[in-house]
């Protein structure tokens, strides 16, 4: 990985005068971006990692009242990673971005932390370990990286981690189960082996595969969002309803939200569906690699051994955060993660489950600055 020098953000990637971009280059792989807040650099570094199909833009709205604005005002050195599930990255290089969550956990997130570490040392900034705020599948991949020993406190100079909405355990709401149980993505994969991305924004140039379109046509409209536009219906079908409309900040309008989601790498999407089916993090197609002689009672143990290693979380101060009404990742995802972590007597872990909040509206809520951001501050400082 090569971290190039800072430059203005590429066209279409929000930044303006507040952010500069540092491209992360991997030979033969997708080009990722770190966006860094412009300003004093002596504060504690904080890295924000977005969810799949979204982008680092998640943390920049509502404009002027976002979590990035909050952290900058508190004196942090704020970084945002656009990794391979960022629609900015996926749109630019769909074939190269089309990798599993295993790849993201092993390559994208460690590379970003290493870039922050080396940049801070080159600037001769007073030593401050990095805090990480990871949301949705960003939190899932960070948990995988920690559990596999690919992200470490000493090696990456990270001390505090906030996991938002999910960790290593996957629990979805009932409409999510209805979609994964028939393994539609495995059928799509078999019928469309060259498929690189899937997006809620459908056009004649980028249609959905027939198998996915057929299931969507059968999907009850009542399960979707209150907004009837095709984009929002497809968004909710692909991922579950990503926010509570009733809790959105007035400035987070439909038009703003349309710009917050895009294509997801299909390999990553298929891997996520497999995680939901097994209920915990494992490698892509891990079941297919099981030795035939594996006893039924040992299958989960074998599948979980790559990532479910609780002792590797012990060096970090961990905070778990979700909304009590999360319609995408059921709060059980965070509850199970907390119970699992607390089996380690040396583990520092705090859990917050917020009434009146869902998923993305943790960041975009009308009262996030009052209810959520102070919890974030305590988690990372």
Please give the pLDDT value at position 2: 60
Average pLDDT on 55-59 reads 97
Residues in a beta bridge with 23? 33
| DSSP secondary structure letter of residue 162 | E
Q: Residue 324 burial (CB < 10 Å; 0-12/13-18/19+)?
A: exposed
Domain range annotation of the chain: 1-13+22-381
Between CA 381 and CA 377 the distance in angstroms is 6
Token pair 């057929």 is at which residue? 214
Sheet holding 77-82, edge to edge: 2-3, 19-25, 32-37, 77-82, 45-49, 130-135, 158-164, 317-323, 348-354
Helices (H), the chain: 67-73, 87-92, 94-97, 101-103, 109-122, 137-147, 153-156, 174-180, 184-191, 210-218, 230-239, 254-258, 266-278, 299-304, 332-341, 361-364, 368-371, 373-380
Greater confidence (115 vs 228) lies with 115
Between CA 381 and CA 374 the distance in angstroms is 11
Please give the pLDDT value at position 40: 79
Average pLDDT on 57-79 reads 96
Q: 0.75 exceeded by the pTM? A: yes
Which one, of 13, 43, 51, lies nearest residue 134 by Cα? 51
The domain made up of 1-13+22-381 has a fold known as: Rossmann fold (3.40.50)
pLDDT tops 70 at residue 15: no
Please give the pLDDT value at position 8: 67
Q: Label residue 3 by pLDDT band (50, 70, 90).
A: low
Please give the pLDDT value at position 89: 95
Average pLDDT on 159-188 reads 90
CA angle 82, 85, 337 (to 5 degrees): 95
pLDDT tops 80 at residue 13: no
| Structure-block tokens of residue 305 | 């051994």
Which one, of 261, 297, 301, lies nearest residue 90 by Cα? 261
Between CA 317 and CA 313 the distance in angstroms is 8
Please give the pLDDT value at position 169: 98
Which one, of 211, 284, 227, lies nearest residue 261 by Cα? 227
Token pair 């998923």 is at which residue? 359
| Each residue's pLDDT tens digit, 215-226 | 999 888 788 888
| Each residue's pLDDT tens digit, 253-284 | 999 999 999 999 999 999 999 999 999 999 99
Q: Whole-number mean pLDDT of the chain? A: 93
Whether the Cβ atoms of residue 73 and residue 157 lie closer than 8 Å to each other: no
Q: Kindly report the three-state secondary structure assignment for every residue of 297-328.
A: HHHHHHHHCCCCCHHHHCCCEEEEEEECCCCC
CB atoms within 10 A of CB 210: 12
DSSP β-ladder status, 19-25 and 77-82 = unpaired
| Each residue's pLDDT tens digit, 86-130 | 999 999 999 999 999 999 999 999 999 999 999 999 998 878 999
Residues 6+ apart with CB under 8 A from 83: 32, 49, 50, 89, 104, 108, 109, 112, 138, 141
- For a pLDDT cut of 90, what percent of the chain falls above it? 84
Whether the Cβ atoms of residue 342 and residue 311 lie closer than 8 Å to each other: no
Phi, psi angle pair for 76, to nearest 5° = -80, 155
pLDDT tops 90 at residue 177: no
Using the CB atoms, write b or e for 225-248: b if 16+ within 10 Å: beeeeebbbbbbbbbbbbbbeebb
């Amino acid at each position: 990985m090569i971290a190039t020098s800072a430059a203005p953000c590429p066209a279409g990637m929000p930044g303006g005068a507040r952010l500069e971009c540092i491209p992360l280059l991997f030979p033969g792989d997708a080009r990722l971006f770190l966006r860094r807040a412009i300003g004093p650099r002596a504060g504690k570094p904080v890295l924000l990692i977005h969810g799949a199909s979204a982008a680092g833009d998640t943390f920049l709205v509502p404009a002027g009242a976002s979590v990035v604005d909050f952290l900058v005002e508190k004196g942090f050195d704020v970084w945002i990673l656009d990794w391979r599930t960022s629609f900015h990255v996926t749109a630019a290089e769909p074939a190269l971005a089309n990798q599993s969550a295993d790849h993201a956990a092993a390559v994208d997130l460690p590379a970003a932390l290493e870039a922050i570490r080396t940049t801070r040392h080159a600037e001769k900034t007073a030593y401050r370990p990095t805090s990480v705020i990871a949301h949705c599948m960003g939190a899932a991949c960070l948990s995988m990286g920690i559990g596999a020993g690919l992200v470490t406190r000493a090696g990456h100079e990270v001390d505090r981690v906030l996991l938002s909405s999910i960790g290593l355990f996957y629990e979805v709401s009932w409409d999510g189960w209805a979609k994964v149980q028939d393994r539609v993505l495995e059928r799509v994969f078999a019928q469309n082996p060259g498929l690189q991305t899937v997006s809620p924004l459908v056009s004649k140039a980028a249609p959905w595969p027939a198998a996915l379109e057929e299931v969507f046509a059968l999907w009850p409209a009542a399960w979707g969002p209150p907004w009837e536009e095709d984009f929002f219906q497809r968004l909710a079908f692909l991922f579950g309803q990503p926010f509570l409309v009733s809790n959105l900040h007035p400035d987070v309008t439909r038009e703003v939200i349309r710009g917050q989601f895009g294509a997801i790498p299909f390999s990553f999407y298929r891997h996520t569906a497999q995680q939901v089916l097994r209920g915990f993090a494992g490698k892509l197609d891990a079941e297919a690699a099981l030795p035939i002689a594996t006893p039924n009672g040992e299958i989960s143990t074998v599948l979980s051994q790559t990532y479910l290693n609780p002792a590797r979380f012990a060096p970090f101060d961990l905070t778990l955060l979700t909304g009590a009404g999360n319609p995408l990742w059921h709060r059980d995802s965070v509850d199970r993660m907390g119970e699992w972590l607390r089996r380690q007597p040396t583990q520092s872990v705090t859990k917050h489950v917020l009434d009146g909040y869902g998923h993305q509206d943790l960041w975009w809520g009308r009262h996030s600055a009052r209810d959520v951001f102070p919890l974030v501050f305590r988690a990372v400082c």
